[in-house]
Structure 1
């Protein structure tokens, strides 16, 4: 089971990384906080202070077309906001993994 799926690179998370030293990741839905902490420490070589997780529900949508209504939804994901120790950084823009 691959714990870290991908980093979250948005304006809000980028600002959190600059100000609060917190980084966001999309993680495996069955992963717990201890597994996420170990995966981030192993992948990036930093010390993790805390991990906050959230389950994001799927978004449902309906499209009206010539052939009728089409229903769809996105996948449910789990996000993790990881706070690392003061003075350490994670370079998400470099492909070193």
Structure 2
């Protein structure tokens, strides 16, 4: 089973990537750090120096439209920030174009 869903791109994650060689991914909720280290080694052939995980819980959302107030909730997701050794890197643009192996 594939634990990594997709790379996570934002302004903050790109700044962290340039400074500290840290990459951000969205992962499955039931995954842990030990399984993730093995998964990154199998998928990309890299050794992970440090792993930080965080869970973002559901939030109430509302917006005003022509039909009135619409309310809902956002999804719960889990994010991981991995730090690599100094001599290793991941080509995320290549993985983004060939994301068949990430979305299985």
Bin of the TM-score, shorter chain as denominator length: 0.7 to 0.9
Distance 1:45 1:16 in 2: 21
CA-based RMSD of the aligned residues comes to 1.7
Q: For the structure 1 residues 23 and 70, does the alpha-carbon distance in structure 2 shift closer, same or farther, using more than 3 Å as the test?
A: same
1:58 counterpart = 2:45: no
Matching residue of 2:10: 10
| TM-score, normalised via structure 1 length | 0.87
CA deviation profile, 1:41-65 (whole Å, cap 9, x unmatched): 1111111011100001223112345
Corresponding position: 1:37 with 2:37: yes
Q: Deviations over 1:1-56 (max 9, x none)?
A: 32000111112111211110111010000100111111111111111011100001
Provide the TM-score with structure 2 as the length reference.
Answer: 0.82
In structure 2, how many angstroms separate the alpha carbons of the residues matched to 1:92 and 1:55?
A: 22
For residue 93 of structure 1, give the secondary structure of its aligned residue in structure 2: helix
Unaligned runs of 5+ in 1: none
Q: How many angstroms apart in 1 are the aligned matches of 2:39 and 2:3?
A: 7
The 1:65/1:10 distance shift into structure 2, 3 A limit, reads: closer
Matched residue count: 97
Is residue 69 of structure 1 aligned with residue 35 of structure 2? Answer: no
